[in-house]
Structure 1
Amino acid sequence: MSPMTNEPGDGPIVFLVPDIHDLQTGGNVFNRRMVAGLRPETSVRVQTWAPDTRPAPELNRPDASLIVVDSLLARHPDALRAVRERTAATPLILLVHYLRCIDPHAPDSDGVADERATLDVVDGAVTTSRYVKQALVGEGPPAERVRVVRPGLGERYRGALPDRPGRGRPRMLTVANLLPEKGLQSFVDVLRALRDRPWTWTLVGDATLDPAYAAGLFRRLRATGLADRVTWTGPIAPEALRTRYDRADLFVLPSRFETCSLSTREAMARGLPVVGRRVGGMPENAGDAPVGALVPPDGPQPLRAALRSLLTDPMARAHRGQAAWRRSRDFPTWTEAAAQFRTALATLRTRAVGAAP
């Protein structure tokens, strides 16, 4: 990571975010919560940036004390170098929600090389799990330049749990945008192998981020003859999402990789057992608690077997849902997460300034 050349002033913090920052993604929710938590004690400016059209945005804040860069912009190292040239006295901190270079299931590509080049441009990083910090340090940045701030849990998801009598067809829920890394198309094959069991599946997520992938998912569902068991809601506002968790019996996230998974933490707080893959930051959500089943990432059989077991046994679902709820009580509030984020930024800024010649 590049050293600083000048000491920054005690000015505002600028967030550079991609032009999809208004969409309901876990990373965008985290960003908005951190911005809200920093205010009003700290002046914060959020600036959308499309590097393909604006290689070096005019920040209009020469007094900025820090620039926080969303990791979706990490594939544009040349553009970030141009930002650094314009703001040489201001540390750049990468906020890592996802990077291909730390995803063991992502193919090696030019995007990976660009991300690695970006790590040489920024002065530090904030990650949302220990896994991501360790993986990032493996790419070169020193450990003292990487801080972990886990997502908070909204108050609407805390409190008494809904009554789930365990009768009728078990209701599975997935909250994930319709993207290849979420493993949804291959999950249809898992569902097809479970068609002998009674169940329904509700999918909450945005189809506009990758329309071609979403169309392929819907085609596959129609081809399997399972469409009458499946409900796709599209994206749902956070204030309405709790109802979906409360109406479900089982939370499923078939992603090939997750740096943390905000939706998993929300589902646990609503007492849902979780079935997913033991990848990335997912095990940190569970800790040592028997919250459901996190299975090996290779192949569909472990996921299929875990689902069959829980679909068949309502008592097991209830016990593991209660364990998930108890575990969720250790999750920080968003206020606590924002305080940790403020401390992390202060520490990284101090180190960056101290490294300047």
Structure 2
Amino acid sequence: MKIAFTAPMKPLDDPQPSGDRTMGRLILRALEIGGHEVRIATRFRSWRKEGGDNALLAVKKAALEEAERIGDAWTREGYRPDLFLTYHLYHKAPDWIGPALADRFDVPYAVIEASRARKRRTGPWAVGFQGADDALKRADGIAALHNWDRDRLLPFFEETETDPAKRLRTVLPFLDLSAFGSVGNASPSTEPAEPLKLLTVGMMREGDKTASYEVLAAALSELVDRPWQLTVVGDGPNREKILSKFPQDRITWLGALSPENVIVEYPKHDLFVWPAIRESFGFVLLEAQASGLGVIAGDALGVPEIMADGTSGLLAPEGASSAFAAKLRQVLDTPALAGQFGEAAKIRMIEVHSLQAGAERLDAFLKAALDHYQHRQLDQAKDR
């Protein structure tokens, strides 16, 4: 299938690393593994930090001009995609280009990862909210990355009186596991040496990341009578505030590392710990499991769908430091659990979250979107 692709939230060649950029790149790789021919239609970025009617109407105007430019170029070239695919849209990053081109060339339109906050229907983000909603109405297929996000989209189908079963599905996130096998990773032993080596990875910015570090620090303060050492990977404006909350003789701070160097760190440790406050799902949780580490994490949003509680790690109620400490205490008191969780995590990653598994889920999603488009065409023909 010839697929035209765009990512209005962040272009895939954006120099700033992020989970959004990583997931977008992985989607392209999975599509190519599935035999699809992918073309980046545009790197136009509709995302804006601040709202306002005038500002967003200007973005919409520029986006539609870009769509016209692309359409004219495709016409001259004789190119027509089989489907237009957009990754990640919401009120701050609506997609006006994909629907316009899908209409012009009369092809299916599909979306992977759409967020919808109904409180943005009015106010400074109203134009962006409407733009995102219009894209969802046009979409022949909508994929969420986990069921928590999927459930947040159900009100859209109620409001538009349409059947979510025909267009909405969950496509779980995935990783290229070959990168983790290439670092010589050995599974943690079933009896880790004391002290247990813990690892956490997270940016040190204001908001949910700092809140996660604070929960972790509070949990570890309840475990000072147990043997553990923590390695912290990350940096940011809240570095001093965050690091001051941990006992300095029991942590090693490595600063911000490149993705390649972070991967090297995982197998040096016994257990990954991250409270995951308001975490959509967390690539670091996937990477840790791919490296053979069990995980202690917060039971937030999509996290329960990327790790099996009690099998590949343990989940604590989101934001509850004492409950997080209790889960971690279970492993500190029975260190063999770390190795057991790590082995189970690697197996689950291969079965559920590998690039090949992701390619198969994406292929099924695109075929369902194409099927919906074809049925829609038939219904429209009958109504003429």
Q: Give a deviation string over 1:41-68, Cα, whole Å, max 9, x none.
A: 4332223222256433343445233222
Greater relative contact order structure (CA < 8 Å, 6+ sep): 1
State the match for 2:167 in structure 1: 145
Matches within 5 A, 1:168-207: 168-178=194-204, 180-182=207-209, 183-187=211-215, 189-190=217-218, 193-194=221-222, 196=224, 197-205=226-234
The one-letter amino acid of 2:6's match is: F
Cα 1:317–1:335 shift into 2, 3 Å: closer
The one-letter amino acid of 2:39's match is: R
Q: Give a deviation string over 1:200-246, Cα, whole Å, max 9, x none.
A: 333335x5xxxxxx312x132344363551414314234x4432110
1:126 aligns with 2:143: yes
| CA distance in 1: counterparts of 2:326 and 2:123, whole angstroms | 33
- Does the residue aligned with 2:362 lie in a helix, a strand or coil? helix
State the match for 1:48 in structure 2: 43
Structure of larger gyration radius: 2
Q: Displacement of 1:251 after TM fit? A: 0.8
The one-letter amino acid of 2:298's match is: R
Cα 1:111–1:349 shift into 2, 3 Å: farther
| TM-score under structure 1 length normalisation | 0.77
Q: Displacement of 1:187 after TM fit? A: 3.0
The one-letter amino acid of 2:30's match is: G
Which is worse superposed, 144-153 or 158-167? 158-167
Question: Can you give the 5+ residue segments of structure 2 that lack an aligned partner in the other structure?
Answer: 49-58
Q: Give a deviation string over 1:132-189, Cα, whole Å, max 9, x none.
A: 3233224427232123222334134357524475223322222344453344342354
State the match for 1:346 in structure 2: 367
| CA distance in 2: counterparts of 1:286 and 1:76, whole angstroms | 29
Cα 1:66–1:235 shift into 2, 3 Å: farther
Cα 1:109–1:280 shift into 2, 3 Å: farther
Q: Give a deviation string over 1:260-293, Cα, whole Å, max 9, x none.
A: 3333233223332211122222222334653221
Cα 1:170–1:129 shift into 2, 3 Å: same
| CA distance in 1: counterparts of 2:123 and 2:279, whole angstroms | 19
1:276 aligns with 2:297: yes
| CA distance in 2: counterparts of 1:296 and 1:344, whole angstroms | 32
The one-letter amino acid of 1:125's match is: I
State the match for 2:54 in structure 1: none
The one-letter amino acid of 1:286's match is: M
Greater fraction helix: 2
Cα 1:121–1:255 shift into 2, 3 Å: same
Contact 1:126–1:149, Cα closer than 8 Å, also in 2 = yes
State the match for 2:51 in structure 1: none
Contact 2:116–2:153, Cα closer than 8 Å, also in 1 = no
Cα 1:184–1:61 shift into 2, 3 Å: farther
Question: Can you give the 5+ residue segments of structure 1 that lack an aligned partner in the other structure?
Answer: 1-9, 103-107, 208-213
> Number of residues paired by the alignment?
332
State the match for 1:155 in structure 2: 178
Q: Percent identity?
A: 20
- Does the residue aligned with 2:293 lie in a helix, a strand or coil? coil
| CA distance in 2: counterparts of 1:70 and 1:21, whole angstroms | 10
| CA distance in 2: counterparts of 1:235 and 1:20, whole angstroms | 22
The one-letter amino acid of 1:44's match is: V
| CA distance in 1: counterparts of 2:124 and 2:227, whole angstroms | 44
State the match for 2:99 in structure 1: 84
State the match for 1:36 in structure 2: 29
Contact 2:2–2:38, Cα closer than 8 Å, also in 1 = no
Cα 1:75–1:67 shift into 2, 3 Å: farther
Cα 1:253–1:267 shift into 2, 3 Å: same
Cα 1:246–1:222 shift into 2, 3 Å: closer
Cα 1:292–1:335 shift into 2, 3 Å: closer
Contact 1:278–1:294, Cα closer than 8 Å, also in 2 = yes
| CA distance in 1: counterparts of 2:311 and 2:2, whole angstroms | 46
| CA distance in 2: counterparts of 1:200 and 1:99, whole angstroms | 38
The one-letter amino acid of 2:356's match is: T
Among 117, 134, 139, the alignment partner of 1:101 is 117
| TM-score under structure 2 length normalisation | 0.72
Cα 1:101–1:175 shift into 2, 3 Å: farther
- Does the residue aligned with 2:337 lie in a helix, a strand or coil? helix
Name the Cα RMSD after superposition. Answer: 3.5
| CA distance in 2: counterparts of 1:235 and 1:18, whole angstroms | 24
State the match for 1:261 in structure 2: 282
The one-letter amino acid of 1:190's match is: A
| CA distance in 2: counterparts of 1:294 and 1:166, whole angstroms | 21
The one-letter amino acid of 2:194's match is: G
| CA distance in 1: counterparts of 2:292 and 2:361, whole angstroms | 26
